[in-house]
Amino acid sequence: MNFTLHTDNSFTLTCISTGGPATTVTWTRDSTTVTQGTQTVLNDGVTAQYTHTLTDRTAGLYTCVVANNVSNVSAKLPVQGPSPPSNVRVSQNGLNSLLVTWTPSEGPNATGYTVYYYQINGGFSGSVTAAATDTSVVITGLIAGAAFSISVSADSSTLSSSRSRGPDTLIGILLLSLNCKSHCLHAVPATISLTSSPPSPMMSGATVSLTCSISLPIDVTDATGIRWNGPGVTPTPVNSITSGKKISSVLTFSGISTSQGGFYRCNFTLGGSISVNITVSVLDQVIFLPAVRPDVTIISLSWIPASGVPVTTYNISYSNTDKKCFDDNKAMSIENQTLNATLEELEEHTEYLVKVAVWYEGRVVGSNSIVVTTKPVAPSSSPSSVSVAGVTSSAITVMWRSVPCIHQNGDITGYLVQYGVMRSENKETMETSETEITLLSLTPETDYEISVAAVNTEGIGVSTNTSATTSAERATSISNLAVAAPTSGAVIGVLLLILLVTVLLIVFVRYRSGSGDIHTSTNEAYGNVG
């Protein structure tokens, strides 16, 4: 009997026997029975061919045993593959995983490694592969409390070496066994804690995180085995490994509601279980009464208290939000144990953000806020920089700047301008929405007093006073007399001139005519005497 080895596409061993019909054939590798091949009787009737294909590509000493009812014969053929790895070691790596290490094969023909595992006294088995440069691998997903047999082979492109076995290892040997009952809980070498951030109680609408932390005596590679129980709809927990021997699970509520308050349990199970509980108290929001009463410089407010917990105190803070009038927002706070408060010394017609915070056992457990605007009043200051911008004999132009923002006390709707002759009780009134006005039809060379006041929806504010004198009228040229409208002074002057000329003319005429009469009269007199 002899062997042939075919390596076209796969490793095939062929065993040929002669001398009589065989009844059975048995194939072994390293004295272990392997899958039987095929049997073919050749044409001469006395030669049989037995073929075995190395389906698992494993090297070793292969033996073909052919037997009939008379005798049996055998042939051996060593199939050499890569050298097997050495120093296989197995250690616990987590709740359900093992770490396998080895010393690489000698020789350059190993292209990788295969790690085999099977459950002792069980049906759980499998394998994982590693690269040629690897010297370790982690097997996960094993059964806690079960024992496993581990072996490692070196692989080439066509053959695998014989397997080097590591020590049998029991998973979960430090933890609970699968059959452990409640009395075994003391054997769990683990601690568990459950915390809430923010601490309970908290206001409804807050973002709340419940964190369950578990410490174990061994390194872990996964965070399975944690379960949550709680009231209402709970979010999906996020499990993670925080360090080698610690796992955590976080339950986060984005905007927790009062219906989600109550009793929560975090349970960790591995054969037996260990758990921890926490009570989450969710408070109603602080609700302002509808009648928040703002006045000019005062805001009175009251609120409905949070329910479900004794409140230590309320903190009321407020700040104006008027960016237009205030460079920086001023904030103040007061503490109050009642359900109402009065904010004083505020600015008129100003928007304030008022916040009420609930304090319980030295910390804020929630808050609510409202925007309130104080009432407007008439402007509390006058326009500034009032000045006379131009003067003629019959007009005065006045300009000014508006009331400072913090004294407007509402929206400025316009300006009231009063003017009249100095120390006269008769005043004219004009209104404008601009910051400039021209007063017309004035008397030349006359002193006028002028006042300007801002106006809002609540009334007229404080006024600013100024004065101005109209200029003299300019003289009119002769060329313009014919077309210029005569003034009263000009008419009087012309009449006086005419009167003077007339008087002089009469005197002159009488003087001339008077001289002849005297002479004649004298002659006549002398004649009468004679």
- Residue at 522 is within a domain: no
> Residue 482: pLDDT above 60?
no
Share of residues in the chain with pLDDT > 90 (%): 12
Q: Say if 530 falls within a structural domain.
A: no
Domain closes at, from 48, 79, 110: 79
Q: Report the range out of 179-183, 451-455, 499-503, 516-520 with the highest average pLDDT.
A: 451-455
Residues 55 and 130 in one domain: no
Angstrom CA distances, 505 to 35, 136, 436, stand at 169, 148, 59
Q: Do 395 and 414 belong to one domain?
A: yes
Residue 436 has a pLDDT of 92
Residue 246's domain spans which residues?
182-283
- For residues 214 and 148, membership in a common domain is answered with no
Please provide the average confidence, as pLDDT, over all residues in the chain: 76
Compute the residue count for the chain. Answer: 530
CA distances from 252 to 56, 231, 264, 521 (A): 50, 14, 13, 145
Residue 10, domain CATH: 2.60.40.10
The yes-or-no verdict on residue 183 having pLDDT over 50 is no
Asked whether residue 307 falls in the same domain as residue 349, the answer is yes
- Could you identify the residue written with the tokens 């095939």? 12
Structure tokens at 1: 């009997």
Task: Answer yes or no: do 190 and 275 share one domain.
Answer: yes
Whether omega for the bond prior to residue 198 falls within 30 degrees of 0, making it cis, is yes
The 3-state DSSP class for residue 456 equals strand
Q: pLDDT-derived band of residue 101, with 50, 70 and 90 as boundaries?
A: very high
Residue 509 lies in a domain: no
Flag whether pLDDT at 179 surpasses 90. Answer: no
Is 515 part of a structural domain of the chain?
Answer: no
Query: 402: buried, middle or exposed (CB in 10 Å: 19+, 13-18, 0-12)?
Result: middle
In terms of average pLDDT, the best of 5-14, 139-148, 212-221, 467-476 is 467-476
Given 124, 142, 170, which residue is the final one in a domain?
170
Domain check: are 47 and 92 in the same one?
no
For residue 344, being part of any structural domain is answered with: yes
Q: Is residue 116 part of a domain?
A: yes
Residue 5 has pLDDT above 90, yes or no: no
Is residue 493 in some structural domain? Answer: no
Asked if residue 307 and residue 274 are part of one domain, the reply reads no
Pair 365, 203: CB distance under 8 Å: yes
| 307 assigned to some structural domain | yes
Domain boundary among 79, 95, 117: 79
> Are 209 and 271 within one domain?
yes
Shared-domain flag, residues 58 and 103: no
127 and 36 within one domain? no
Q: Write out 309-363 in H/E/C secondary structure.
A: CCCCEEEEEEEECCCCCCCCCCEEEEEECCCEEEECCCCCCCEEEEEEEEEECCE
Structural domains counted in the chain: 5
Instruction: Check whether residue 304 and residue 393 sit in a common domain.
Output: no
Same domain for 268 and 304: no
Which pLDDT tens digit goes with each residue over 333-352? 777 778 888 888 888 888 88
Residue whose entry in the numeric block shows the structure tokens 């925007």: 371
